Amino acid sequence: MSVNTEKSGTYFVEYNVSDEAENKADPLQREIFVGSQILDETPPVITLNGDAKMTLHIGELYTELGASASDDRDGVVDVIAVQDLFNAGAAFITSDFEGGAGLGCPRY
């Protein structure tokens, strides 16, 4: 059982045990990845400040409440709001962020 941390690759360590009556436990396995860049497979998450849907009267002042984003590796990250107009009378502001690994961010 050895993990060569000088060589890139995926290593497996298996654990198993039996008691004095020779009853065997179900084996467990650990996967260890060694590389120059650790894999980041979890995208950041955007959270809206306030409600996802808002209704305003014509002429009423709108103040954007913004959003926040967090990533399991990059921590709290800045969110940039981008406004897209898809059709007359409807304005959609979307917030996008890509984590350090270039993973997109789901919106919640």
Rounded percentage of the chain residues whose pLDDT exceeds 90:
26
- For residue range 80-90, list pLDDT tens digits in order: 776 654 554 55
Provide the domain limits for residue 19. 1-36
C-alpha distances out from residue 2 to 8, 9, 36, 38, 46, Å: 13, 12, 19, 19, 40
For residues 52 and 90, membership in a common domain is answered with: yes
Q: Mean of the pLDDT values across residues 4-20?
A: 90
Q: Does any domain span residue 102?
A: no
Q: Does any domain span residue 63?
A: yes
Q: Does any domain span residue 59?
A: yes
Q: In 33-92, which ranges are continuous DSSP H helix?
A: none
Q: Mean of the pLDDT values across residues 49-75?
A: 88
Single pTM value for the model: 0.46
For residues 67 and 91, membership in a common domain is answered with: yes
Q: Does any domain span residue 106?
A: no
Pairing of strands 9-15, 28-34: antiparallel
Query: Domain tally for the chain?
Result: 2
Q: pLDDT at position 51, please?
A: 93
Q: Mean of the pLDDT values across residues 68-80?
A: 85
For residues 21 and 57, membership in a common domain is answered with: no
Cβ–Cβ < 8 Å for 84, 96 = no
